[in-house]
Structure 1
Amino acid sequence: MPLPFLTADRAFEEQADDVVLPFHDRQRWRRPYRPGPYRVGLAALALLLASFVLVAAVIIAATTSVTTAWVWFGLAVLMIVGALRGLRTGVWVSSAGLRHVSFFATRTTPWARVGALRVVQQPVRWMGMPRTVQGQGLVLEARGGRGGAAADGAVVLLSTHGADFLGQPEVFDRAADTVEAWADEYRTVPGR
């Protein structure tokens, strides 16, 4: 069964050096990098735990209270939904704009409102936790307007210490370059 949210298009790895955006269907939202091993591993552990909870719910339903079984079944469904949402987090691009998907919120910024995308050396959050370490982050500075990333000022989209790029600085560089290439292709710069 294909899971499109798990794989970035393989065209990025297979492309020639002179092709920046190898995608044919640029209207479709896509993640320009693969999910990292830490993100996939955490999701796999959550799904494994959810399978045990589902088995427990079936056993409880067969032996004791159906009401208690529904509570455990609901907990398993929440764990599955959380694991799948965790796999979807990251940066997605299309010709319409840039979408930053976090665990609880999704922000879409049209390319016309993207002011600057640049890699900055700064303290970044380690694996999305409150602890910060020195690293690099791809920072989005949106142009004026209401809502989206402009309301928050500069937003760190990707970092070298996130679940997708921890211990893989070359993968971070490639992903940041790809997002910047999409921005260069589609955003409108005032005065151009």
Structure 2
Amino acid sequence: MSTLRIDIWSDVVCPWCYIGKRRLETALGRFEHADEVEMHWHGFQFDPSHPKGHHEPVFDTLAKKIGAPHAQVRQMTQQVTDLAAAEGLAYALDRAVSVNTLDAHRLTHLAAQQGLGGEMHERLLKAHLVEGEVVDDLDTLVRLGGEVGVPEDEAGQVLRGTKYAGEVDADIREARRFGITGVPFFMLNRTYGVSGAQSADTFLTALRKAHSGPQ
């Protein structure tokens, strides 16, 4: 049985990434060869310059970034919140906290070594976008890792050091080589690219095309 490999670049603070993940999963539920699919998660940082340890409400970050009042930010984020709700995701972006996501991606790499990369990324997305968790806090990350099966002592040891930082950097460099400037981005069999949170139908078409190979 041949494997259909999907490489996914995503950030754990990205509202569109969670929506894209759900739409891909919907497509996989309709895909005839879903049992042949292997997913690999890659880190990408929306804002690598965000100071490590600096916490700020997302609404404040967005208001400063676009130079708009909170009311306009709330209106903008309501649109993505409604789209998320259609995928069964209960966003609470008014509670979300802007952080540097390097440590969250390092934790995902640790989890991937134990076959839990997808579960870890899912848990981090939910923590940030739905639950208002601070996803660069060491104790929070250790707890979230434990919830998906990453030993807490191992997670703490990794997060207190710099292990897997090189792997995250390699993810981002590879994204640049492919010309990826935003996330989510889905690469099927290293050949077919799907950019953004496309519809489940678009993902299904791409899956079938990648599975059948070059025509």
Q: TM-score, normalised by structure 1?
A: 0.24
User: Which of structures 1 and 2 has the bigger CA Rg?
Assistant: 1
Name the one with the larger strand percent.
Answer: 1
- Name the one with the larger helix percent: 2
Q: Which has the higher contact order (CA 8 A, sep 6+)?
A: 2
Q: TM-score, normalised by structure 2?
A: 0.22
